[in-house]
Amino acid sequence: MNPNKNFILLGLLLFALLTNTNSSLNAQDLQSETPLDEKTISEEIQNFNVIIKSGKVFIKWTQLPSETDCMLSIEKSDNGIDFEEIGTKKGVKSDFVLFYSFIDHNPSSSISYYKVKHTNSNGEVSYSAIRQINNQAKKELADTYLSTASLN
């Protein structure tokens, strides 16, 4: 195949990827789990995941059945160490698995780390695993395409 045709096909593919408003980058593709002290890992929080789509980070998780109410705090960090609360949800007593979600409308322009803090009615604290998401992946892809295109 002609090298110019390969370049054009690559450009069209990158253009389609960058302009598709329904495309999303999923934390499963970009995630890393940071181990926490086993005493602090929440058994109640399950299926914790973050997805970036349309410039927002969608955070979702499930909570196992609970005999008491709790407070769920969504925390974010730019370095994976220093976290700050960006939102809260009230967890309720339930005999069923409950589904929760939160949207970060102001994600960082590069890598962000998220976790959920679970505080039970006795004040005991535990955390979900930490999820990492790279908000710059699409920008880097666009920069690569633009720098390659400028070589011709």
Query: 85-128, pLDDT tens digit by residue?
Result: 999 999 999 999 999 999 999 998 889 999 999 999 999 999 99
The answer as to whether 152 is a domain residue is no
Q: Which amino acid, one-letter code, is at 79?
A: N
The answer as to whether 101 is a domain residue is yes
The answer as to whether 144 is a domain residue is no
The answer as to whether 33 is a domain residue is yes
Domain that holds residue 110: 24-136
CA gap 19, 54 in Å, rounded: 11
Please list, in sequence order, all residues whose beta carbon lies within 8 angstroms of the beta carbon of residue 65, skipping any fewer than 6 positions away.
94, 95, 96, 97
The answer as to whether 28 is a domain residue is yes
Contact 86, 76 (CB under 8 A): yes
The answer as to whether 48 is a domain residue is yes
The sign of the dihedral angle between the CA atoms of 6, 8, 13, 17 is: positive
**Number of domains comprising the chain:** 1
Q: Across residues 3-22, what is the average pLDDT?
A: 47
The answer as to whether 11 is a domain residue is no
Instruction: Considering only residues 31 and 37, tell me which one the structure prediction assigns the higher pLDDT.
Output: 37
Contact 94, 66 (CB under 8 A): yes
Query: Residues 51-91: pLDDT tens digits?
Result: 999 889 999 999 999 988 999 999 999 999 999 999 999 99
The answer as to whether 15 is a domain residue is no
Instruction: Considering only residues 24 and 127, tell me which one the structure prediction assigns the higher pLDDT.
Output: 127
Evaluate if residue 12 carries a pLDDT over 70.
no
